[in-house]
Amino acid sequence: MATWIAHLRVAEGLLALMPHLDETAFMYGNLAPDSGKPNADWTAFDPPKEITHFLRRGEDEDQIHDLTFYRGYVAAYTPDENRADYSFRLGYFAHLVCDNLWSRRFTPPYKHLYPELETDAKSEWIGIIKRDWYHLDFCYLRDHPDCIFWRVFVPVPNPPPYLDFIPYESLTHSLDDIRGFYSTPSPQRDIDHPYVHLNAAMMSRYVADSITLTYNILVQLQTQIPADVHSALSLLPADSLLPYEPPLGDL
């Protein structure tokens, strides 16, 4: 899954291409799929990822059924009916597409670089790799004080969930957690270090590619919605979905 700030960066880029959308609702929609409320040890979520990310049990995030969501929750809506509702739903769809893209881009090279991800040490290595991901988020927020996180996400109240399968309590818990995580300084957090597992250039490449590809998908869906496929990535050229080649970080 992409990081929360990566999702917001993509959202901000898409909003520049689609100024007819409600900025706040679209932004929140881009975070809403990560609204599963965790249990005490983070081993289960309510609602579970199978529901929030339109997955069948046992499927990985490169198999997200984003078009199932689009057909059921976006296709029948137009901005003219309820601009905020429509924008939130479209943002939710963009999140699903971007998680799909993240898995396609990064999972294969990470499995090649770190065989430990296929062993009992998987959780430990995921934690090591994700440290770079989230520290890159903090770097971006430090260097972009006018980005949508500071300008809109921090000061604007949480929205209604708009979707019947997302409990309001879960959505607000998640959004408050994200807001607190990124806006609360931690003197123990050192973000000025070599980024071995993912660097800023690769993160920015992912964001730029995701903006372009997601917008391409949204344009195509305005004229035709495929009925027999589960992911909108099928609308893209195969070479646009190839995994990124290592190195992903600083050598």
Per-residue pLDDT reduced to its tens digit, 211-226:
999 999 999 999 999 9
What is the C-alpha to C-alpha distance for residues 130 and 235, in angstroms, rounded to an integer? 30
List the beta bridge partners of residue 45: 38
pLDDT at site 77: 86
Cα–Cα distances in angstroms (integers) from residue 36 to residues 60, 114, 118, 151, in the given order: 17, 28, 26, 25
Q: Which residue, chain included where needed, has tokens 């959004």?
A: 175
Q: Which helix (H) or strand (E) holds 137?
A: helix 122-143
**Crossing angle of helices 83-113 and 66-73, rounded to 10°:** 180
Residue 66: predicted pLDDT:
97
Say what the pLDDT of residue 47 is. Answer: 94
CA distances from 113 to 97, 121, 224 (A): 25, 14, 39
Residue 243 in contact with residue 106, Cβ under 8 Å?
Answer: yes
Domains of the chain, residue spans:
4-241
Q: How far apart are CA 25 and CA 98, in angstroms?
A: 18
Q: What does the pLDDT look like over 123-156, one tens digit per residue?
A: 888 999 999 999 999 999 999 999 999 999 999 9
Task: Specify whether the CB–CB gap between 24 and 152 falls below 8 A.
Answer: yes
The stretches in the chain having pLDDT less than 70 are none
Which three-class secondary structure state does DSSP give residue 111?
helix
